[in-house]
């Protein structure tokens, strides 16, 4: 089908009262899991990779060339019949976000490390100007999301700041971004437990910000809370950590199956029953299919 503008996916989701999932991949197998799930569920989908991870200078291997990832994402979008947007997610360096636009990602999420609002507005202005010339959507978070290691789930305390509606409105108007990620109690990289969300705050943001709202940290949010947010205007839901765990669980299941074949060409990437990557892909695909049903996007590919 080819790439579909993120803004178009979001407009249809808003009108149809459902959310489109961004299911973060990290390699070919995980990307195939997401696309296969979308095809089986006849669901629009957002595919993509985490720019901060791929370009992390602390990697044992050198930072990855984004061209590889751009290529497989664009091919995946071309050969699938469902509507697909392709995002370079959570990029901390402006140069890498700009590079993503040149390489063919049709959405970028820039997450600058600076806390200087004026400096960030200037950087986003530069990014949005280039992105919009090429039909690329730009997403930003406004408000600080803690990771699980920074947040005490039981005490509801940690390093974070919730999104202020009026400040968010000014930021959106000053930058011209297309999607806004909000902080309403969501926590990233949460493996266990569920967060408590501020629905009233979400509604206040939705009333004053006239662009699609998104939520990161989907692994720590209960399904019923997601449904409630969709009723209140949520258009995009991010999921990552739970997918990582599902993939690992699938690999572990095959690893424990007792295969005596030790050849790497059979155990890694063959697609045979002893292939641990195939086990991970299947497990991840089933979780994505389940979440598409939760988000209400199943069956919406033809709308």
Is residue 302 in a domain? no
Is residue 138 in a domain? yes
The domain that holds 75 is classified in CATH as 3.20.20.70
Is residue 198 in a domain? yes
Is residue 242 in a domain? yes
Contact 91, 97 (CB under 8 A): yes
Is residue 303 in a domain? no
Q: Which domain holds residue 147?
A: 6-295
Tens digits of residue pLDDT in 231-275: 999 999 999 999 999 999 999 999 888 767 667 777 888 888 899
Least confident among 108-112, 126-130, 147-151, 230-234? 147-151
Is residue 301 in a domain? no
Q: How far is 201 from 216, CA to CA, in rounded Å?
A: 16
User: Residue 69: is its pLDDT beyond 50?
Assistant: yes
Tens digits of residue pLDDT in 181-219: 999 988 876 655 577 899 999 999 999 999 999 999 888
Tell me the DSSP string of 20-65.
EEEE-BSSHHHHHHHHHHHHHHT--EEEEEEHHHHT-TT-SSPPPP
Is residue 29 in a domain? yes
Name the more confident of 125 and 63: 125
pLDDT of residue 188: 73
User: Residue 107: is its pLDDT beyond 80?
Assistant: yes
Is residue 300 in a domain? no
Q: What are phi and psi of 295, to 5 degrees?
A: -75, -15
Based on the structure, what is the number of domains in the chain?
Answer: 1
Counted residue by residue, the chain has a size of 303
Report strand pairing: 234-239 vs 213-215.
parallel
């Amino acid at each position: 089908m080819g790439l579909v503008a993120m803004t178009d996916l979001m407009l249809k989701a808003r009108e149809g009262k459902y959310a489109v999932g961004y299911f973060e991949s990290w390699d070919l197998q995980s990307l195939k899991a997401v696309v296969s799930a979308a095809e089986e569920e006849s669901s629009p989908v957002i595919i993509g990779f985490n720019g901060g991870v791929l370009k992390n200078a602390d990697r044992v291997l050198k930072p990855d060339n984004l061209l590889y990832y751009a290529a497989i994402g664009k091919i995946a979008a071309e050969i699938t019949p469902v509507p697909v947007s392709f995002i370079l997610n959570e990029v901390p360096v402006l140069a890498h976000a700009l590079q993503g636009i040149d390489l063919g990602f049709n959405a970028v999420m820039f997450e600058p490390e600076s806390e200087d609002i004026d400096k960030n507005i200037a950087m986003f202005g530069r990014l949005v100007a280039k992105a919009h010339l090429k039909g690329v959507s730009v997403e930003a978070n406004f408000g600080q999301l803690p990771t699980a290691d920074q947040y005490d789930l039981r005490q509801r305390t940690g390093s974070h700041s919730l999104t202020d509606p009026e400040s968010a409105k000014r930021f959106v108007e000053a930058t011209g971004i297309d999607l806004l990620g909000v902080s309403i109690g969501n926590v990233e990289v949460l493996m266990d437990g569920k967060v408590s969300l501020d629905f009233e705050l979400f509604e206040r943001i939705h009333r004053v910000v006239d662009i699609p709202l998104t939520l990161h940290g989907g692994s720590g949010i209960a399904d019923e809370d997601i449904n409630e947010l969709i009723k209140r205007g949520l258009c995009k839901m991010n999921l990552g950590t739970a997918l990582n765990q599902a993939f690992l669980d699938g690999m572990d299941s095959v690893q424990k199956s007792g295969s005596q074949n030790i050849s790497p060409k059979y155990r890694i990437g063959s697609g045979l029953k002893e292939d641990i990557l195939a086990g991970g892909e299947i497990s991840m695909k089933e979780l994505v299919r389940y979440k598409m049903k939760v988000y209400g996007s199943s069956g919406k590919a033809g709308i």
